[in-house]
């Protein structure tokens, strides 16, 4: 295998697994660790990967951390709109209870929901959007502290622990085989974990930039989620890895 082919493969593995380690890559390609380190340094200089202790991560994953809701809302907006529309197909029967998580893609779903559901949310923008556009809708906001950067209410996962809903629509900052679904903040991770546990069916809404990304706190393994709705940027390897975990993948 030529060096360029190996480096391309390293990027593909990082996109699928969330990171690449020197030791595993050396074994996988039957080369020395020094060769892999040189490859990673080249990819780092090219801005594709970023070197970390023991290996590398996708450079783009470093830009998907805890950013303001206004900054995130402007990115991949067309993809998020399509994902939200596709999520309508995952709604239960009218009159059922659903959870809508805080986030920019889940927020788009909130804007197009009908009056037919009991909506429990920890998102102030989602609650406001539903209550303004559909005054007769049954919207319930959990209590707690508001994180200004994401406008998410956090600190009360026990409120979700008492619930049993039909479907939870969850947002995420990262998705990888090793780290599962993740987010940068401990408090938001605790809320998301409780939402996942409260639902009969868990649907994650995430554009393809989140695939192969690992952020600080894992809130659910891949096996805890039933459906992932994403966009056409998902690679064949990512699609296969996720479906191998028993998750239905919907490409919007």
Over the stretch 115-165, which tens digit does the pLDDT of each residue have? 899 999 999 999 999 998 888 889 999 989 999 888 899 999 999 989 999
Mean pLDDT for each 10-residue chunk of the chain (252 residues)? 88 79 92 93 86 80 59 76 97 95 95 92 94 90 91 92 96 91 94 97 95 90 97 90 95 96
Domain that holds residue 223: 69-251
The answer on 130 and 195 residing in a single domain is: yes
What local confidence, expressed as pLDDT, does residue 107 receive?
95
Number of domains in the chain: 2
What CATH number is associated with residue 177? 3.40.50.1360
CB 98 within 8 A of CB 247: no
The answer on 73 and 59 residing in a single domain is: no
- In Å, how far are 1, 17, 108, 123, 225 from 176, measured between CA atoms? 27, 5, 24, 25, 13
The answer on 206 and 112 residing in a single domain is: yes
Rounded CA gap, 17 and 133, in Å?
Answer: 41
Residue 56's H or E segment, with its range, is strand 55-58
Beta bridge partners of residue 139, listed in sequence order: 119
Among 157, 158, 126, 155, CA closest to 140:
126
- In Å, how far are 5, 7, 92, 201 from 158, measured between CA atoms? 50, 46, 24, 19
């Amino acid at each position: 295998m030529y060096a360029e082919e190996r480096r391309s493969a390293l990027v593909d593995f990082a996109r699928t697994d969330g990171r690449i380690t020197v030791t595993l890559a050396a074994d996988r390609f039957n080369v020395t660790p020094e060769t892999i380190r040189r490859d990673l340094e080249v990819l780092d200089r090219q801005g594709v990967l970023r070197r970390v202790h023991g290996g590398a991560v996708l450079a783009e994953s470093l830009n998907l951390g805890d950013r303001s809701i206004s900054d995130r809302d402007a990115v991949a907006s067309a993809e998020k709109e399509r994902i939200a529309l596709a999520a309508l197909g995952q709604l239960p029967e009218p009159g059922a209870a659903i959870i809508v998580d805080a986030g920019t893609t889940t927020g788009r779903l909130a804007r197009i929901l009908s009056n037919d559901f009991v909506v429990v949310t920890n998102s102030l923008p989602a609650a406001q959007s539903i209550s303004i556009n559909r005054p007769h809708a049954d919207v319930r906001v959990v209590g707690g502290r508001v994180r200004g950067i994401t406008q998410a209410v956090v600190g009360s996962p026990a409120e979700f622990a008492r619930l049993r809903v039909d479907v939870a629509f969850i947002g995420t900052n990262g998705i990888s085989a090793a780290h599962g679904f993740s987010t940068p903040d401990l408090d938001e991770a605790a809320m998301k974990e409780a939402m996942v546990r409260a639902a009969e069916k868990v649907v994650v809404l995430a554009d393809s930039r989140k695939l192969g990304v690992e952020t600080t706190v894992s809130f659910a393994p891949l096996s805890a989620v039933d459906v992932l709705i994403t966009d056409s940027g998902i690679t064949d390897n990512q699609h296969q890895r996720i479906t191998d975990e028993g998750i239905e993948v919907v490409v919007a």
